[in-house]
Amino acid sequence: MTNETAEYSLSRPCRKVPQWDIETDIAIIGFGASGASAAIEAASAGAKVTLFEATSGNGGTSALSGGEIYLGGNGGTPIQNAAGFSDDTEALYQYLLMAGGPNADAAKVRLYADNSLKHYEWLLAQGVEYKNSFIPQRIVEPDTDDCLIWSGSEEAWPFSEQAKPCPRGHTPKFMGMGAGRYLMDKLAARVTALGVDVRYDSRAVALITDESSRVIGIVIRNAGKDSYVRARKGVALCAGGFVMNREMVKKNAPWMLQSNHPIGTVDDGSGITMGQSVGGAAINMSEGFVTLPWYPPESLIKGIFINERGQRYINEDCYHGRTAHHGMQQRSTRLFSLQDSETYGEPLFGQFAKIGIAGTGDTWEEVEKELELPAGSLTTTVELYNRFAAEGSDLLFHKAKKWLKPLNKPPFVALDCRIDVCFYPTFTLGGLDTLPTGEVLNADRKPIAGLYAAGRTACGLPRWGEGYSSGMSLADATFFGRQLGSRVVSVA
């Protein structure tokens, strides 16, 4: 062991290979959605694919998800059409560009927007089924086998002003929540059917480079023994993000440590670190997704969020991840959702998410007092909001008219959305800079020969906590996993 770690590590490539234990065309690291999609495309094209997974089963963090994929454009999927929506490619492009934030990758967004409908068809071809149904109410994910939902901030300011709104969250036909497992079962079955050589309990510990710095293989550790894998066409890092590596989070995105609910399986940053060890550039490393499933019922959206200074901070009708992300920037551990007797409904995920009731009252003064907020801090905010709501125009935060209603019907309730108490799941959005083909880039945006990445090891479509929408990460992982799989095969 001592000799081994002295020779190489996640952060230091291996340059001395005693022998090749395994030879393959493509070594894929990680059996989540991106690794599976890459494997399917590469194997379909006739390549010999070896897929290494650190754990004893497939699915990765993708299997922990709701399985939603953000799809549309090109006139719309049949499900969008049946629900009465004709989705425009440019609207999808604009929305994703905006959702990607100030450092959005226009090339990736363009490719995805143009091919999203084809990607839907590809998913069907892999055996993923979708029910032809639409849930118009605002929810987090279906607890039925229904498909289409509003899964982002499409109808909310400022997105609604720049891109024609359309629901695009497509959830597979799976009864109940957590369709990510279903999605991965389908993809994994295809991987198996295509004869991909899958090796479980096999952890990648270092890339192998030749004298010209080309990546030619990878060292895999299984039961304490290292194997040297030659990958003739390339190594694909599909090993997830880094949210489970708390030290790495601290160094890059310390704001995320406010949440003690990282969502991940392995996600130890090893894919990113190995990429960096051969000169790969990691970008956007401070960005992350965070949410709080505070609705449904959607009537809660008519309430308002305040921080512990009594200040409102967001248009409450945007995506739950956006409200939570803004909440986490408030420098306020206590956050409250204020409701009146007409808007209040017990949060569906209240118990699960630990959203309790922080205070009640027959007047807002009483609530303010019970929350121990400075006199006047909450009440002036509610007063101002109620006036805007009555006038039908939220001049401060631009919440859409349909969600505006004066909060003036007692009794009043303040929901407890404390950051240190409630369930604020979070994962990272920074990673290796890649071309749409999956080629890993160095700081000069030059490809590193033989190295590819996709999924949360790469920095893809989703790269801005403020703009994240459900289904963006799986859309990115599956679609750009596929691009990677095709590309590796095509390189001579």
Residues near its own copies (CB under 8 A) are: 9-12, 15, 101-103, 211, 213, 248, 250-255, 257, 269, 273, 276-277, 279, 281, 283-286, 309-311, 329, 374, 376-377, 380, 383-384, 387-388, 395-397, 433, 442-444, 446
Least Cβ distance, residue 347 to its own copies (angstroms): 26
Least Cβ distance, residue 253 to its own copies (angstroms): 8
Nearer to its own copies, 180 or 467 (CB): 467
Least Cβ distance, residue 329 to its own copies (angstroms): 7
Q: Nearest to residue 73, comparing CAs of 95, 51, 57? A: 95
3-class secondary structure, 287: coil
Least Cβ distance, residue 33 to its own copies (angstroms): 25
Nearer to its own copies, 166 or 253 (CB): 253
Least Cβ distance, residue 137 to its own copies (angstroms): 28
Nearer to its own copies, 220 or 253 (CB): 253
Nearer to its own copies, 12 or 199 (CB): 12
Enter the tokens of residue 37. 């999609």
Nearer to its own copies, 102 or 224 (CB): 102
User: Is there a contact between 45 and 485 (Cβ–Cβ < 8 Å)?
Assistant: yes
User: Is there a contact between 410 and 382 (Cβ–Cβ < 8 Å)?
Assistant: no
CA distances from 376 to 368, 373, 409 (A): 8, 8, 19
Residues β-bridged to residue 198: 51
Query: Other C-beta atoms within 10 Å of 345: how many?
Result: 14
Nearer to its own copies, 174 or 397 (CB): 397
Phi/psi of residue 310, nearest 5 degrees: 80, 10
> CA 83, CA 361: separation in Å to the nearest integer?
42
Least Cβ distance, residue 374 to its own copies (angstroms): 4
Q: Is the dihedral of CA 71, 74, 75, 81 positive or negative?
A: negative
Least Cβ distance, residue 38 to its own copies (angstroms): 24
Distance of alpha carbon 417 from its chain centroid, rounded?
Answer: 22
Nearer to its own copies, 279 or 361 (CB): 279
> CA 77, CA 73: separation in Å to the nearest integer?
8
Least Cβ distance, residue 212 to its own copies (angstroms): 9
Enter the tokens of residue 383. 């007063």
User: Is there a contact between 242 and 249 (Cβ–Cβ < 8 Å)?
Assistant: yes
Least Cβ distance, residue 406 to its own copies (angstroms): 14
Nearer to its own copies, 130 or 336 (CB): 336
Nearer to its own copies, 76 or 321 (CB): 321
Enter the tokens of residue 440. 């890993």
- What spatial distance separates the first Cα and last Cα of the chain, rounded to whole Å? 36
Q: Is the dihedral of CA 357, 258, 477, 104 positive or negative?
A: positive
> CA 333, CA 368: separation in Å to the nearest integer?
16
3-class secondary structure, 104: coil
